[in-house]
């Protein structure tokens, strides 16, 4: 199949790529755009390490062909925040020990931010459900739940 | 304790900001100009002779770099303890997925097609697929008798106890293979030139293990081989042995092509081809008095080691020493063997043989309690090790341990006694769901076994950068456990400066000394102590130079360090391992101080068993442990919680399905690890008793939490169901088989 041209808006920046229509969005992000924050864990939509937002929806970027993402708005971990301007969930993961090896972390952060956007005050059951597509092998999830709760309360304080 | 400003505090992970920003660079995030991608052609059969290799049509083979065993410049060997593990199969294969041939090409998308187009023809030989077949030598597939290693550990006179016993209780316990399932697969990049030698970057735990192996495989001089660990996305032991293999493969392709070569496995290849936890079978025969005093034990351990010996002898050693659990045995005999089979080699996995042994003893203790009609906690209370008593290796307990108190606290936190009584009462009338509560008591030796630390002879160093920052130089690596953070805490505390004024040197064999491997729960206790001593040395030099006074501020330290470096060129301090006093070990007799220290724990699990689906949910989990001083409570808690989750997976979900020696479920879709909805609240409690010879009193933590969940959960399931299950993983179908299928004689009665 010949190369096709696609346009994506990633973390607010517009990128044009020439690639195969069935190229995975994950590969386009990592190799064409050099946004390597998004990780590959399983390549079959089970682990969620490659989670990104596409037009506001949480997707596994290993299951999205780039042709399907043409013209889409994509948000990755790099777009959440950087260094001095960390997103509230990034800061909470740091402070609560929600990241250990760091490999599930980018996808987990995107999923957690998405969860809090949909539901500003999820209870523990809702947090568990909201993150059930993101596997972590290091933490046993407790520090991650705590981080989401901390992000939730600091957001609430910020509003208050 | 309690005087410190940095040690014992929840300091934030050193590399944490890079990780939460997606900036941390893992092996697959790296690329190099002109880089090729490598792939591996593997055996599809478990055992046989290689007859020939054909390169199929439709692939531009002249564009490929192709490596076989004949291209290996040095020894065709992955250097571990023995010399039997080939880097590439030459004439025979001994397990499915054994690497036969390597390919490299600039286009990574072409590689899967090329691998599929290589046809290896083989004459298939009979293979061994169980411990029992290996025992029967049906057929012999390794050495003369299929035995990688055997141990005999003996104390007292076991043969004399059987006639004195009121009861003799027997049991057999088995455990399955377990996949590490680190979220980042194995990967390496190699670069070679005749001038600069070989450099390998990789996702790995032990840079000097890979170094040793690659020096031997390449035949290059030691200084011409450089290994660099990059950010590593989980390991759990799975990146202790295998990186020497994938690193060697990348190196061979780079040496042949003269170009950088990257090999990164996808999930299916990583699960099918790399090492896993050793399956085990443990038999217990115990002599006990009517009132529950343990008189003697005969324990037989058999591990399935897979096709090559890798680390099996040391895994077996730890399994042997931990076999008696945290109890006093006046008489005990443990015979253990690691057997060869034709599965991919089993390797290091968190716990390293101890979880297998401790599963057996802790299920067995509940059996004994039931046989005697004594409560499980009372039986354990009557037999716990105490200060002054000797372990099975004759090691006198000198630490001030109080297991009775530890158990009491765990049972109180879990509301064990109340629930034990209530569940038993409510289960009687329950149709759909039954509840149970159970626990396990255990120990885990910190650091290498026996003389291991002495042989390692580890060296740590500290220096200062030109900016005046203190730098920790060790080969101990970070892969999520918190190495970077706790070692910087120890250094900062010792130097009396801010945590931010200390950084880690690069985990690069050309920069750091050999501090030994990052395994065996040794980093906090052993390496931490070396970093402490190196920091003391660094400070002494600065004080002696009169550039610095006692009680300095961080700013004064930085100024003094900069001035010292400007005047003298460098400031560096080293510290070499010295065994704590009184540590003696006899490798032949298996007698003496097996470990400088042990961590101790009691874990309690509460479960629900669904009588319709036979699914088990863990509803609550209490983990109480004594690990010496806790250097960083947030990281330590995270270690315990993560280990408990892996233990829950091993007990209830994670089943490797074998099909003639090949893993049939090498996908995350059908090899199931716990999700955020499968894990109960894990409630972690530490008893802190500083250990005199660890850094600020620390002992080992990392592996301990893998030991307790499986026996605690199966003890709870026995409580819920009234039936005994002695094998993990225990999936719903396994419970169903035993619970719901009526026994034949019963059917006859019904008819």
Using one digit for the tens of pLDDT, what is the confidence trace for A30-82?
Answer: 999 999 999 999 999 999 999 999 999 999 999 999 999 999 999 999 999 99
Q: Would you say residue B561 lies in a domain? A: yes
Q: Do both B254 and B350 map to the same domain?
A: no
Identify each DSSP E strand in B548-669 by its residue range. Answer: 572-576, 585-586, 591-592, 597-610, 616-626, 658-659, 662-663
Pairing of strands B662-663, B197-202: unpaired
Distance separating alpha carbons of residues B345 and B272, to the nearest angstrom: 11
Is B256 within 8 Å of B250 (Cβ atoms)?
no
Burial of B10 from C-beta contacts in 10 A (0-12 / 13-18 / 19+): middle
Is the pLDDT assigned to residue A160 strictly greater than 70?
Answer: no
Of A38, A39, A109, the CB nearest to B20: A109
Q: Do A44 and B20 touch (CB under 8 A)?
A: no
- Report the interhelical angle of B354-372 vs B709-721 (nearest 10°): 30
Q: Do both B114 and B42 map to the same domain?
A: yes
A140 contacts in B (CB within 8 Å)?
Answer: 638, 641-646, 679, 682
Distance separating alpha carbons of residues B352 and B598, to the nearest angstrom: 15
Q: Do both B436 and B462 map to the same domain?
A: no
Residue B178 vs residues A75, B355, B376: alpha-carbon distances, Å: 35, 12, 28
Q: How many CB atoms lie within 10 A of CB A58?
A: 21
ipTM score assigned to the predicted complex = 0.98
A138 contacts in B (CB within 8 Å)?
Answer: 234, 480, 638, 642
Q: How many CB atoms lie within 10 A of CB B186?
A: 27
Q: Mind telling me how many Å the CA of A71 is from chain B's nearest CA?
A: 24
Q: Do A77 and B15 touch (CB under 8 A)?
A: no
Q: Do A78 and B673 touch (CB under 8 A)?
A: no
Is B297 within 8 Å of B169 (Cβ atoms)?
no
Residues in chain A: 160
A32 contacts in B (CB within 8 Å)?
Answer: none
Q: Mind telling me how many Å the CA of B23 is from chain A's nearest CA?
A: 6
Q: Do B641 and A141 touch (CB under 8 A)?
A: yes
Q: Do B234 and A138 touch (CB under 8 A)?
A: yes
Give the number of A-B residue pairs with CB atoms closer than 8 Å.
167
B236, B237, B639, B676: best to mutate for the A interface, most A CBs within 10 A: B676
Distance separating alpha carbons of residues B268 and B666, to the nearest angstrom: 5
B637 contacts in A (CB within 8 Å)?
Answer: 97, 142-143
Place of tokens 């399955």: B176
B673 contacts in A (CB within 8 Å)?
Answer: 135, 137
Q: How many CB atoms lie within 10 A of CB B55?
A: 14
**DSSP single-letter state for residue A75:** E
Is B268 within 8 Å of A41 (Cβ atoms)?
no
Q: Which residue of A has its CA nearest to B636?
A: A97
Q: What's the rounded mean pLDDT across residues A96-106?
A: 98
B13, B15, B20, B239: best to mutate for the A interface, most A CBs within 10 A: B20
Does the N-terminal peptide bond of residue B104 adopt cis geometry, omega within 30 degrees of 0?
Answer: no
Q: Would you say residue B746 lies in a domain? A: no
**Two structure tokens written together for B727:** 């094998």
Q: Would you say residue B160 lies in a domain? A: no
Residue B693 phi, psi (nearest 5): -115, 15
CATH code at B693? 3.30.365.10
Is B134 within 8 Å of B306 (Cβ atoms)?
no
Q: Do both B35 and B20 map to the same domain?
A: no
Q: Do B21 and A128 touch (CB under 8 A)?
A: no
B668 contacts in A (CB within 8 Å)?
Answer: 41-42, 44, 46-47, 135
Q: B106-131: b or e for each residue (b if 16 or more CB lie within 10 Å)?
A: eebebbeebbebbebebeebebbbbb
Distance separating alpha carbons of residues B235 and B704, to the nearest angstrom: 16
Of A36, A82, A139, the CB nearest to B29: A36
Q: Do both B499 and B619 map to the same domain?
A: no
**Two structure tokens written together for A113:** 């931010």
Q: Do A42 and B668 touch (CB under 8 A)?
A: yes
Q: Would you say residue B167 lies in a domain? A: no
Q: Do B673 and A137 touch (CB under 8 A)?
A: yes
A96 contacts in B (CB within 8 Å)?
Answer: 634
Distance separating alpha carbons of residues B608 and B115, to the nearest angstrom: 47
10-residue mean pLDDT series, chain B (751 residues): 88 98 98 98 98 97 98 97 96 98 97 98 98 97 98 97 98 98 98 98 98 98 98 98 98 98 98 98 98 98 98 98 98 98 98 98 98 98 98 94 98 98 94 96 95 94 96 98 98 98 98 96 96 98 94 95 96 94 87 95 98 96 98 98 98 98 98 98 97 93 98 98 96 91 48 37
Q: Mind telling me how many Å the CA of B258 is from chain A's nearest CA?
A: 23
Q: Which residue of B has its CA nearest to A103?
A: B233
A3, A101, A106, A128: best to mutate for the B interface, most B CBs within 10 A: A101
Q: Do both B350 and B462 map to the same domain?
A: no
Alpha helices in B395-465, H assignment, sequence order: 403-413, 416-427, 452-456
Sign, Cα dihedral of A54, A56, A60, A63: negative
Is B624 within 8 Å of B410 (Cβ atoms)?
yes
Does the N-terminal peptide bond of residue B139 adopt cis geometry, omega within 30 degrees of 0?
Answer: yes
Is B183 within 8 Å of A104 (Cβ atoms)?
yes
Q: Do A77 and B22 touch (CB under 8 A)?
A: yes
Share of chain A above pLDDT 90, in %: 93
Q: Which helix (H) or strand (E) holds A93?
A: helix A88-96
Q: Do A46 and B668 touch (CB under 8 A)?
A: yes
Residue by residue, DSSP assigns B468-497 as S-EEEE-S---SSS-HHHHHHHHHHHHHTS
A132 contacts in B (CB within 8 Å)?
Answer: 675-677
Q: How many CB atoms lie within 10 A of CB A120?
A: 11
Q: Do A37 and B22 touch (CB under 8 A)?
A: yes
Distance separating alpha carbons of residues B335 and B354, to the nearest angstrom: 15
CATH class of the domain comprising A4-79: alpha beta
The C-alpha torsion from A24 through A25 and A26 to A28, rounded to 10°, is 90
Distance separating alpha carbons of residues B645 and B651, to the nearest angstrom: 10
B183, B486, B645: best to mutate for the A interface, most A CBs within 10 A: B183
Q: Would you say residue B233 lies in a domain? A: yes
**Two structure tokens written together for B355:** 């979880």
Q: Do B13 and A97 touch (CB under 8 A)?
A: yes
Q: Mind telling me how many Å the CA of A137 is from chain B's nearest CA?
A: 6
B231 contacts in A (CB within 8 Å)?
Answer: 102
Query: Which fold would CATH assign to domain A81-159?
Result: DNA polymerase; domain 1 (1.10.150)
Alpha helices in B258-375, H assignment, sequence order: 267-273, 312-321, 354-372
pLDDT at residue number A1: 60
Q: Do both B20 and B38 map to the same domain?
A: no
A36 contacts in B (CB within 8 Å)?
Answer: 22, 25-26, 28-29
Is the pLDDT assigned to residue A159 strictly greater than 60?
Answer: no
Per the structure, the count of domains in chain B is 3
Q: B62-94: b or e for each residue (b if 16 or more CB lie within 10 Å)?
A: eebbbbbbebbeebbbbbbebebbbbbbeeebb
Q: Do B22 and A36 touch (CB under 8 A)?
A: yes
B18 contacts in A (CB within 8 Å)?
Answer: 102
- If DSSP codes are grouped into helix, strand and coil, which group holds residue A96? helix
Distance separating alpha carbons of residues B312 and B116, to the nearest angstrom: 32
Q: Would you say residue B269 lies in a domain? A: no
A11, A94, A100, A104: best to mutate for the B interface, most B CBs within 10 A: A100
Q: How many CB atoms lie within 10 A of CB B56?
A: 12
Q: Which residue of A has its CA nearest to B632?
A: A97
Q: Mind telling me how many Å the CA of B634 is from chain A's nearest CA?
A: 6
Of B183, B236, B635, the CB nearest to A103: B183
The conformational region for residue B482 under phi > 0 = left, psi -120 to 50 = alpha, else beta, is left
Q: Do A139 and B634 touch (CB under 8 A)?
A: no
A20, A83, A97: best to mutate for the B interface, most B CBs within 10 A: A97
Domains A4-79 and A81-159 share a fold: no
Q: Where are the domains of chain A?
A: 4-79, 81-159
Q: B571-587: b or e for each residue (b if 16 or more CB lie within 10 Å)?
A: bbbbbebeeeeebebee
Of B10, B19, B673, the CB nearest to A99: B19
pLDDT at residue number B3: 84
Is A24 within 8 Å of A65 (Cβ atoms)?
yes
For residue B413, which of B687, B10, B9 has the smallest C-alpha distance? B687
**DSSP single-letter state for residue B186:** P
Q: Do both B547 and B694 map to the same domain?
A: no
Residue B301 vs residues B61, B128, B321, B361: alpha-carbon distances, Å: 49, 19, 11, 11
Identify each DSSP E strand in A27-128 by its residue range. Answer: 51-54, 57-60, 73-75
Of A78, A97, A134, the CB nearest to B635: A97
Distance separating alpha carbons of residues B457 and B173, to the nearest angstrom: 37
Distance separating alpha carbons of residues B270 and B180, to the nearest angstrom: 10
Place of tokens 């501020």: B553
Q: Do B267 and A42 touch (CB under 8 A)?
A: yes
B646 contacts in A (CB within 8 Å)?
Answer: 137, 140
B676 contacts in A (CB within 8 Å)?
Answer: 127-129, 131-132, 134, 136, 141, 144-145
Angle at B487 between CA B483 and CA B492, to 5 degrees: 150
Supply the range of the domain harboring residue B717. 280-449+590-739
Q: Would you say residue B147 lies in a domain? A: no
B11, B16, B22, B189: best to mutate for the A interface, most A CBs within 10 A: B22
Q: Would you say residue B164 lies in a domain? A: no
């Amino acid at each position: 199949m010949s190369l096709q041209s696609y346009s994506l808006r990633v973390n607010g920046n517009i990128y044009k790529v020439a690639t195969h229509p069935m190229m995975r969005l994950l590969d386009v992000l990592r190799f064409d755009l050099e946004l390597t924050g998004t990780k590959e864990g399983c390549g079959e939509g089970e682990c969620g390490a490659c989670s990104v937002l596409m037009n506001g929806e949480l997707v596994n970027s290993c299951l999205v062909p780039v042709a399907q993402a043409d013209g889409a708005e994509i948000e990755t971990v790099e777009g959440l925040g950087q260094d001095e301007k960390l997103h509230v969930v990034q800061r909470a993961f740091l402070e609560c020990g929600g990241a250990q090896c760091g490999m599930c972390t980018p996808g987990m952060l995107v999923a957690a931010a998405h969860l809090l956007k949909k539901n500003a005050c999820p209870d523990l059951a809702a947090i568990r459900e909201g993150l059930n597509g993101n596997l972590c092998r290091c933490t046993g999830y407790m520090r991650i739940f705590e981080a989401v709760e901390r992000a939730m309360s600091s957001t609430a304080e910020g509003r208050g | 304790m309690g005087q410190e400003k940095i040690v014992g505090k929840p300091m934030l992970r050193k590399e944490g900001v890079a990780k939460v920003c997606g900036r941390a660079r893992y092996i697959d995030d790296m690329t190099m100009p002109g880089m090729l991608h490598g792939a591996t052609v593997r055996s599809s059969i478990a055992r046989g002779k290689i007859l020939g290799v054909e390169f199929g049509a439709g692939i531009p083979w002249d564009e490929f770099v192709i490596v076989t065993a004949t291209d290996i410049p040095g020894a065709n060997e992955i250097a571990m303890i023995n010399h039997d593990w080939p880097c590439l199969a030459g004439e025979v294969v001994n397990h499915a997925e054994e690497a036969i041939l390597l390919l490299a090409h600039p286009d990574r998308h072409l590689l899967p097609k090329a691998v599929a187009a290589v046809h290896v023809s083989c004459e298939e030989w009979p293979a061994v697929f169980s411990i029992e077949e290996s025992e029967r030598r049906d057929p012999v597939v390794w050495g003369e008798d299929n035995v990688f290693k055997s141990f005999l550990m003996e104390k007292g006179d076991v043969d004399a106890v059987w006639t004195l016993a009121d009861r003799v209780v027997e049991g057999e316990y088995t455990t399955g293979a377990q996949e590490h399932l680190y979220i980042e697969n194995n990967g390496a990049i190699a670069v070679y030139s005749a001038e600069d030698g070989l450099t390998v970057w990789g996702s790995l735990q032990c840079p000097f293990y890979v170094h040793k192996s690659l020096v031997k495989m390449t035949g290059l001089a030691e200084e011409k081989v450089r290994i660099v660990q990059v950010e590593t996305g989980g390991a759990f032991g799975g990146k202790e042995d295998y990186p020497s293999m994938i690193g060697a493969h990348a190196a061979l392709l780079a040496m042949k092509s003269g170009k950088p070569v990257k090999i990164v496995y996808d999930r299916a290849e990583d699960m099918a081809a790399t090492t896993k936890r050793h399956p085990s079978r443990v038999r217990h025969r115990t002599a006990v008095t009517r009132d529950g005093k343990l008189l003697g034990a005969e324990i037989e351990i058999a591990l399935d080691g897979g096709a090559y010996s890798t680390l099996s002898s040391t895994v077996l050693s730890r399994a042997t020493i931990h076999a008696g659990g945290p109890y006093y045995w006046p008489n005990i005999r443990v015979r253990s063997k690691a057997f060869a089979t034709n599965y991919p080699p089993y390797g290091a996995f968190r716990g390293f043989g101890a979880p297998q042994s401790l599963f057996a003893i802790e299920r067995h203790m509940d059996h004994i309690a039931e046989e005697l009609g004594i409560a499980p906690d009372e039986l354990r209370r009557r037999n716990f090790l105490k200060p002054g008593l000797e372990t099975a290796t004759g090691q006198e307990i000198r630490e001030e341990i109080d297991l009775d108190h530890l158990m009491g606290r765990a049972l109180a936190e879990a509301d064990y006694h109340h629930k034990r009584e209530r569940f038993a009462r409510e289960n009687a009338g329950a149709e759909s769901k039954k509840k149970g509560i159970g626990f396990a008591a255990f120990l885990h030796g910190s650091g290498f076994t026996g003389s291991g630390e002495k042989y390692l002879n580890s060296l740590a160093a500290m220096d200062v950068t030109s900016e005046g920052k203190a730098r920790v130089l060790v080969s101990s690596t970070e892969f999520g456990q918190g190495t970077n953070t706790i070692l910087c805490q120890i250094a900062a505390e010792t130097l009396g400066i801010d945590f931010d004024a200390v950084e880690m040197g690069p985990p690069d064999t050309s920069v750091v000394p050999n501090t030994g491997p990052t395994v065996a729960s040794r980093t906090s206790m052993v390496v931490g102590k070396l970093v402490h001593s190196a920091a003391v040395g660094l400070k002494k030099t600065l004080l002696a130079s009169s550039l610095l006074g006692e009680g300095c501020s961080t700013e004064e330290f930085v100024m003094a360090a900069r001035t010292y470096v400007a005047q003298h060129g460098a400031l560096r301090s080293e510290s070499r391992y010295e065994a704590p006093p009184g540590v003696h070990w006899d490798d032949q007799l298996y007698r003496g101080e097996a470990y400088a220290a042990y961590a101790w724990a009691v874990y309690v699990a509460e479960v629900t068993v669904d009588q319709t689906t036979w699914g088990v949910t863990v509803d609550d989990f209490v983990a109480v442990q004594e690990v010496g001083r806790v250097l960083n409570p947030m990281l330590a808690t995270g270690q315990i919680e993560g280990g408990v989750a892996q233990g829950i997976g091993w007990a209830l979900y994670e089943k490797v399905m074998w099909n003639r020696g090949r893993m049939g479920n090498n996908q995350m879709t059908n090899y199931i690890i716990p999700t955020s909805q499968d894990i109960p609240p894990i409630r972690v409690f530490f008893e802190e008793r500083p250990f005199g010879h660890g850094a600020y009193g620390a002992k080992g933590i990392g592996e301990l939490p893998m030991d307790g969940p499986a026996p605690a959960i199966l003890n709870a399931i026995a409580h819920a169901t009234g039936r005994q299950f002695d094998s993990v993983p225990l999936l719903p179908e396994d419970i169903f088989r035993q619970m719901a299928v009526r026994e034949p004689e019963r059917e006859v009665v019904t008819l």
